Amino acid sequence: MRIAVWMVSLALVAGSAIDAFSDEPPATLNGMQRIASSRVKLAYVRPGTDWKKFRTVQIRELSIPLEVRDATPPGQTKKFRESYVLGEKQVTALQKAYMDVMRDRLGDAGLTVVDTPAADTLIVATKVMDIRLSAPIESTRMSYSSRGSVYSQGGGAIAITAALADGTSGQVLAEVADSRWPNSDMWRINNSVSNLSDAKQAFSFWANALRDRLKSVRGG
């Protein structure tokens, strides 16, 4: 059974927050207009933005707040020493996977990745809003010491919010919210490698969507 991830809110660089579960999200948000999207669940864009001026991009480190690192599924009963809480090792791996994918895909959009924003820089800031794992962290499982295998239908799910901002003014130009889970419901081995692979799959989906959107609005 897939583990559902619920988008709690859209809370980003601009400090905005909306209920992503409302039947009809607001048409405008802090001067941005909601647009229809086939790729993400919720998207807002500031009208009149000159996207062609951006030639570089600063990709901020993926934010994974402490309060979302407990990836325990709702109603899950844990056995002795089992834990669903992401440690620094898991957090670092997710942040690296995100950065690697984003740098690769946004390079395809014709943007040069920079560390310091300038007048032609688009800032990308992404925050994890929720994580759910299908099985405890591998090193905490009862089967880990005996090298037993654990199988599950997918590795879990993840929800994010993201903001695009102007490198000079810091003004937020677009905001999105979305959630993803593995494409397959097939039972398969569940370990740190497969879970990271699932996360990379989600990051790739979002990075591809952003790349394609930027290429479209920049006319290239």
Position 200 pLDDT exceeds 50: yes
Contact between residue 89 and residue 192 where contact means Cβ atoms under 8 Å apart: no
Domain that holds residue 53: 28-217
Q: Do the domain assignments include residue 2?
A: no
Q: Does 75 or 183 have the greater pLDDT score?
A: 75
Q: Do the domain assignments include residue 198?
A: yes
Contact between residue 9 and residue 18 where contact means Cβ atoms under 8 Å apart: yes
Q: Do the domain assignments include residue 1?
A: no
Position 133 pLDDT exceeds 70: yes
Q: Do the domain assignments include residue 4?
A: no
Q: Which H/E stretch holds residue 150?
A: none
Q: Rounded distance, CA 114 to CA 118, Å?
A: 9
Q: Do the domain assignments include residue 147?
A: yes
Q: Identify each DSSP E strand in the chain by its residue range.
A: 28-29, 32-34, 42-45, 56-59, 112-113, 121-133, 151-153, 156-166, 172-180, 187-189
Q: What percentage of the chain's residues is helix, strand, coil (to nearest 5)?
A: 25, 25, 50
* Counted domains in the chain: 1
Q: Do the domain assignments include residue 8?
A: no
pLDDT attached to residue 185: 63
Residue range 77-88, pLDDT digits in tens: 767 778 888 889
Q: Rounded distance, CA 77 to CA 93, Å?
A: 26
Say which CATH number the domain at 125 has.
3.40.50
